[in-house]
Amino acid sequence: MSTLLIAISAGIAFAATLSAGIFIKKFKTNIGIVCALSAGFFIALAFFDLLPEILTLAPQAQIPLLELLISGIVGFVFLFVLERVFSMFHINKHAKTKMNLQPRIGLITTLEFCSHGFLEGLAIGLSFQLQLGLGIIVAMAVVSHDFCDGISTLTLMLNSGNSLKSALKLLFADALAPVLGATTTLFIAIQESFLIFSLSFLVGSFLFIGGGILLPDAYRMNRPNITISFFLIGFFLILFLNKIAT
């Protein structure tokens, strides 16, 4: 049953990313709202879904909480370093650069999105193996973020001087990343201790995606009151769904 749900969720995430190509003109001006909503999703997931599961399972597996805290910090720092490394290649939108350098930057930025997507696919698979309700909520958050990523991928690629054909190829790669991440969990026998450490790593990763990537993007694109409002909507929606699922 969990295998089927993982496959369906990965398929929906794949479709959500690709659908950005259809809706980019309509949602490009509202991407900041989607980012704020998704930021609320990811931060609430870390605190109200993943963290309680970790605190419940860790004593049973006799895993020290300090080790899990370190694992969570590693997850946060890993994505922070990844984002900083890729940001070295980003172009300031107000800076003047030669057009022949821009396609490379669009490509590198898209690869950053793919790395996020692979981790999110892992989160879907691990969550469904742990608990049905948790898997559904994590899948919802990932799908919303993948829609943001799809629009961002196309925008960055096209604005970086790439052709529409090249942009669509990279959009497909971005869409495939969470599918590969989710599929990986189907072919690897996951022990309980590894699962717990993976969840703690994802807590750190989700906090960085929500607070370090999506929320700053939302603030840049929206008025502060709009960002705060939609962030809280996403945050409390996950909290509400969590109560229903449990």
Task: Using the predicted structure, report yes or no on whether residue 147 has a pLDDT greater than 70.
Answer: yes
pLDDT reported for residue 135: 84
Q: Please provide the average confidence, as pLDDT, over all residues in the chain.
A: 79
Alpha carbon 237 to its chain centroid, in Å, reads 17
**Tokens representing 155?**
């925008």
Task: Using the predicted structure, report yes or no on whether residue 68 has a pLDDT greater than 70.
Answer: yes
pLDDT reported for residue 130: 77
Could you give the CA distance from residue 173 to residue 101 in angstroms, rounded to a whole number? 21
pLDDT band at 169 (very low <50, low <70, confident <90, very high): confident
The DSSP code sequence of 140-171 is HHHHHHHHHHHHHHHHHHHHTT--HHHHHHHH
Per the model's pLDDT, the better-predicted residue between 183 and 97 turns out to be: 183
Q: Are 7 and 200 in contact (CB under 8 A)?
A: no
Could you give the CA distance from residue 238 to residue 204 in angstroms, rounded to a whole number? 18
- For residues 163-189, one letter each, b for 16 or more C-beta atoms within 10 angstroms of the residue's C-beta and e for the rest, the string is eeebbbebbebbbbbbbebbbebeeee
How many CB atoms neighbour CB 231 within 10 A? 26
Q: Is the pTM of this model over 0.85?
A: no
Q: Which of 57-61, 116-120, 130-134, 204-208 has the highest mean pLDDT?
A: 204-208
pLDDT reported for residue 110: 64
Task: Using the predicted structure, report yes or no on whether residue 72 has a pLDDT greater than 50.
Answer: yes
Mean pLDDT of 98-114: 56
Task: Using the predicted structure, report yes or no on whether residue 152 has a pLDDT greater than 80.
Answer: no
Task: Using the predicted structure, report yes or no on whether residue 122 has a pLDDT greater than 70.
Answer: yes
pLDDT reported for residue 21: 66
pLDDT reported for residue 136: 84
